[in-house]
């Protein structure tokens, strides 16, 4: 089995569903072009039947990108598939992402149906989508809570019907990593024709486990990951592209590869956050403003001696301009001395001690001591070496 992992980005579909994150078609085209430059393999451009705006976006993104597959979401309904196929007309490689619920809770309470009927509907939808001459990905919605034997039956049936990719979503973010991995493993052990399709993982973050579950699914054999920039998506969001890409890069021993050009991650994170008016939490892995910021004295001292003491990723590798040392009341002399040197002031011994005492008084009053505060401290210190 190849170790190349296909990156399926759904920022413009699952991500854009988030209230307040809606983008105009022109903005979506900009994001899609940047996703192409980042090196994603598939762009889920929207849900064409959901609105004229989404339809237009899928049309325009299909024209605007060359390399990635462009994908449109549908329910297992004729009208959805017809509209999606029309929207994908200009795509160099188009894919219909169709599917239906697979868990008993969805079958009973969402579709008011039974297993046999949803199975037949799903198989029908795959065959109909296939007749449009496009790639077809099938999603078994809420697969994280589905009966495993039924999930295997559904997977086998949709592959036999022609699905190129089968998505096993943990729609509600319910699974634990080792159990989600076991689910994927079960499919590899029980679905006879599984080698005829790519298995995809699409995990939600309701318990903060989306990335861990995605990794577990890949280790068990999935070869496509469904992700979003900054982890945006329904409710608590989806697996974040930056986390999964950097896990594979940092842990090369796992042997998985993506085509992601990691140095483009941070600029795209900023672009998506700005266009969607969706701030990134400060402590977000890889792209949060604190991801490469060191604030305690012990860490700052260690970082200044050797960055790898406290950084497992070089910020430049993800396009972050530089690490930062944040000066607070928890900072030590080493960080203060370093920052003063950057500002052109050199302190040692007693002078440094005096400066540090004065610094702590300011730091206790303020959350963060900035360069202007340091200059005021320096000019007020009686004996200075400049």
Q: Cα 157–159–162 angle (5° rounding)?
A: 115
Taking CB under 5 A as the criterion, the residue among 7, 9, 14, 181 binding Zn ion is 14
User: C-beta of 103: minimal distance to Zn ion in Å?
Assistant: 14
CB 62 within 8 A of CB 88: yes
| 110, two tokens | 């969402």
Selected range binding ligand KIV among 113-121, 167-175, 258-266, 325-333, rule: CB under 6 A: 167-175
Contacts with 296 (C-beta within 8 Å, 6 or more apart), sequence order: 330, 331
- Which distant-in-sequence residues (6+ apart) come within 8 Å of 206 by Cβ? 172, 173, 174, 235, 236
User: Given the complex with ligand KIV, which of 59 and 210 has the nearer CB atom?
Assistant: 210
Please give the Cα distance from 338 to 347 (Å, whole number): 9
Among 15, 46, 94, 169, contact with ligand KIV (rule: CB under 6 A): 169
Give 24's DSSP letter.
-
Report the residue from 128, 139, 303, 347 that binds ligand KIV according to the rule CB under 6 A: 139
In the three-class reduction of DSSP (H, G, I as helix; E, B as strand; rest coil), residue 199 is classed as: strand
169 strand-pairing partners: 202
Q: Is 180 in the site for ligand KIV (CB under 6 A)?
A: no
Q: Give 14 or 16: the residue with its C-beta nearer to Zn ion.
A: 14
167 near ligand KIV (CB under 6 A): yes
- Nearer of residues 202 and 299 to ligand KIV, judged by Cβ: 202
> Residue 156 binds what, of ligand KIV, Zn ion, none (CB under 5 to 8 Å, by partner type)?
none
Q: Which is nearer to ligand KIV, 113 or 328 (CB)?
A: 113
Which of ligand KIV, Zn ion, none does 139 bind, CB closer than 5 to 8 A by kind?
ligand KIV
Pick the piece of the chain touching Zn ion (CB under 5 A) from 7-15, 75-83, 143-151, 360-368. Answer: 7-15
Stretch that binds ligand KIV, among 119-127, 164-172, 340-348, 371-379 (CB under 6 A): 164-172
**Which string of DSSP letters, residue by residue, matches 231-297?**
G--STT-B-BHHHHHHHHHH-GGG--B----GGGHHHHHHHHHHHTT-PPPTT-TTTSTTTTEE-SH
> Residue 246: which of 231, 257, 232 has the closest Cα?
257
Could you tell me the CA-to-CA distances from 285 to 173, 245, 274, 290 in Å, in that order? 19, 12, 18, 9
Q: How many residues bind ligand KIV (CB under 6 A)?
A: 9
Name which of ligand KIV, Zn ion, none residue 177 binds, using a CB cut-off of 5 to 8 Å depending on partner kind.
Answer: none
> Which partner, ligand KIV, Zn ion, none, binds residue 141 by CB below 5 to 8 Å per kind?
ligand KIV
Decide if residue 36 touches Zn ion (CB under 5 A). Answer: no
Q: Could you tell me the smallest distance in angstroms from the CB atom of residue 149 to Zn ion?
A: 24
Residues that bind Zn ion (CB under 5 A): 14
Residues that bind ligand KIV (CB under 6 A): 14, 73, 139, 141, 167, 169, 171, 202, 204
């Amino acid at each position: 089995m190849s170790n190349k992992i296909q990156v399926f980005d759904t920022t413009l579909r699952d991500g854009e569903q988030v209230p307040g994150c809606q983008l105009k078609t022109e903005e979506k085209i900009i994001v899609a072009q940047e996703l192409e430059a980042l090196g994603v393999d598939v762009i889920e451009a929207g849900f064409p039947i959901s609105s004229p705006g989404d339809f237009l976006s899928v049309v325009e993104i299909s024209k605007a990108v060359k390399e990635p597959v462009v994908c449109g979401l549908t329910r297992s309904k004729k009208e959805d598939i017809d509209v999606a196929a029309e929207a994908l007309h200009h795509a160099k490689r188009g894919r219909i992402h169709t599917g239906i619920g697979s868990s008993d809770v969805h079958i009973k309470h969402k579709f008011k149906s039974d297993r046999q009927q949803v199975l037949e509907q799903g198989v029908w939808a795959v065959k109909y989508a296939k007749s449009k001459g496009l790639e077809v990905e099938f999603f078994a919605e809420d697969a994280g809570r589905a009966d495993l034997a039924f999930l295997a039956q559904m997977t086998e049936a949709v592959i036999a019907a022609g699905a190129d990719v089968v998505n096993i979503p943990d729609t509600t973010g319910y699974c634990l990593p080792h159990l989600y991995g076991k689910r994927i493993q079960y499919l590899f052990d029980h679905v006879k024709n599984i080698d005829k399709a790519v298995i995809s993982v699409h995990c939600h973050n309701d318990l903060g486990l989306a990335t861990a579950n995605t990794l577990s699914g890949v280790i068990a054999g999935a070869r496509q990951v469904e992700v979003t920039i900054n982890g945006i998506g329904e409710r608590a969001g989806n697996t974040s592209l930056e986390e999964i890409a950097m896990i594979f890069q940092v842990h090369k021993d796992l042997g998985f590869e993506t085509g992601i050009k990691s140095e483009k991650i941070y600029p795209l994170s900023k672009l998506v956050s700005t266009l969607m008016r969706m701030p990134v939490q400060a402590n977000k892995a890889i792209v949060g403003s604190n991801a490469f910021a060191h604030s305690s004295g012990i860490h700052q001292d260690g970082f200044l001696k050797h960055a790898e003491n406290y950084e497992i990723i070089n910020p430049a590798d993800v396009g972050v301009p530089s690490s930062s040392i944040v000066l607070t009341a928890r900072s030590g002399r080493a960080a203060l001395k370093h920052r003063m040197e950057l500002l052109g002031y050199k302190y040692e011994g007693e002078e440094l001690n005096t400066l540090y005492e004065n610094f702590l008084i300011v730091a206790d009053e303020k959350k963060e001591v900035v360069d202007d505060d340091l200059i005021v401290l320096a000019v007020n210190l009686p004996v200075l070496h400049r």
